[in-house]
Structure 1
């Protein structure tokens, strides 16, 4: 069995189970050039993907309404995650508090972002539509944990227009 080598692969190979194993530097999901969800940054706990399909109703005289397929509709992804900013094993430079503000800065730039899985699968172009943050406050008002929710909407299969 050969070892996989997708573009974002940074893990170790476990010959006993013939499966890749995760390390703290592994990228779970990439979004644009600046966002990498990993154990060492903002790791998402769940990824929820929703795809709608358009079937508008057509009223008919003397019969029940019929439906006509118009194609795919809106597609969204919700990422829920937790950051532990006081854990110096994960954030030796003490930059755990920077993670959500970084997400907000990327969202405020207003540009579509190319999403790739940690295994290198290209998931298309997405935009950040909503960021929610909840902090559990600890010693001297510092956040012990930061829970975040990131809402993304599919931009379109063609991607952004070239400048």
Structure 2
């Protein structure tokens, strides 16, 4: 039985695939600045920025049927250039998110140069609650 921690499009995060250890969400707001002579800048609130999410985790490629190609699947999904639905393991629909970066670090090598361990970081940005924003 597969226990999914999170699903982004066709990518399933679980112990058997991509196991993330941190999920960080960043919220920010924009304040436009206008220079003033002899005074501090005047600030005007222009709105909320799209939330960003960062997933950090580790893949042990020799565990069960995990393999070395999990990050490759994420890259293929990112190359589609389309926002993907993000759903938590409890069924919480989190809206559509776009992949902006993926970083993979390999270590603990076996014969033929295959990595036993892959650390990864993924950066996502919120697109919207629907595809028709």
For residue 116 of structure 1, report the CA deviation from its aligned partner.
1.2
Residue-pair matches, total? 132
In structure 2, stretches of 5+ residues that fail to align are none
Q: What residue in structure 1 maps to residue 5 of structure 2? A: 28
Residue among 49, 55, 58 paired with 1:73: 49
Higher relative contact order (CA 8 A, sep 6+): 2
What SS does the corresponding residue of 2:128 show, helix, strand or coil? coil
Residue among 77, 88, 94 paired with 1:106: 77
* Bigger CA radius of gyration: 1
TM-align CA RMSD: 1.9
Contact 2:106 2:118 in 1 (8 A): yes
TM-score (norm 1): 0.72
Q: What residue in structure 2 maps to residue 120 of structure 1? A: 91
Contact 1:112 1:160 in 2 (8 A): no
**Rounded Cα–Cα distance in structure 1 between residues aligned with 2:131 and 2:57:** 27
Q: What residue in structure 2 maps to residue 40 of structure 1? A: 16
In structure 1, stretches of 5+ residues that fail to align are 1-23
The structure with more strand, counted as a fraction of residues: 2
